[in-house]
Amino acid sequence: NEKIPAEKTKTKPEKRKRVTEKPVKAKKKKNNEQKEETLPPRKETENEQSAKPKKRRKKKKTITDVLTTSEPKPGCPADLQDLATQYFKDKRSVIEQEELRTPFSFAPKWAKIQKQHTEKSSAALLIVCSSALRTIELIKQLTSFKGEAKAVKLFAKHIKIEEQVKLLQKGITHIGVGTPGRISALIDREGLSLQALRYLVLDWNWRDQKLRRMVDIPEIKQDLMKLLESGVLARCKEDKVKIGLF
């Protein structure tokens, strides 16, 4: 009997398992510079902050600051001439600027001037100051000087210009004390004439609470220049008016 070879049992091939290979992450190169940028800034300790000097902004100096640190010097005639020259240098020719130069000093005899003054709507002496309060203060100080002469307040605070015009027309005024703005306005309205004016005194050296003189206040300075230009400087050139600094 022939042996029949045993049939090979067919076995199904096993399915191969797919192995999913994990991608290898590329190693990042260490960059010291990048690390320095990404690191959060180190906070300063309180001790370091207190030890570090703080930068202060430089403040702009005001007129008051300058005047506080500088010693006040009494005014002189050259100060007024310098002020007028600086103010009018762009507005007048060289020949016209020469007209600004005035005589330096005078010593009037007030009793004689008082008797000679007889015109209404005018004053023999005008005293120019920076404010209404200063005007009142100066009139009080004039008590012993003026004697029987009549002094009038010429400022805008609480007094209408029409009332001042009538007051000047009513009687003879020897002394007018006031602000340059109101005095200029009275001249423009023909309520105050300069024909009989002999002396103009500027309250130059007095300083307010901020240590400012009248010429340190822009609006007062502008009014003063307008007053001088309204006919005062021309009469100074003719030797009819003298200017004094107080």
Residue 5 lies in a domain: no
Give the residue among 121, 104, 122, 105 at the shortest CA–CA distance from 113. 122
Quick check: 197 and 160 in contact, CB under 8 A? Answer: no
Mean pLDDT (the chain, rounded): 78
Query: pLDDT tens digits for 129-149?
Result: 999 999 999 999 988 788 888
Is 1 a member of any domain? no
Strand partners, 152: 176
Calculate ∠ Cα 130-134-135, nearest 5°.
Answer: 90
Domain count, the chain: 1
Domain with residue 164: its CATH number is 3.40.50
d(CA 143, CA 151): 9
Beta partners for 177? Answer: 127, 153
* Residue 19 maps to a domain: no
Task: Give the β-pairing of 199-202 and 151-154.
Answer: unpaired
Range of the domain at 95: 72-245
Q: What is the pTM of this model?
A: 0.60
Helices (H) and strands (E) in the chain — how many of each? 12, 5
pLDDT for 158 = 86
Look at residue 59 and tell me if it is in a domain. no
More confident position, 117 or 25: 117
Is 110 part of a structural domain of the chain? yes
Residue 207 lies in a domain: yes
Over residues 157-204, the pLDDT tens digits come to 889 999 999 999 999 999 999 999 999 999 999 999 999 999 999 999
- Phi and psi at residue 13, to the nearest 5°: -65, 135
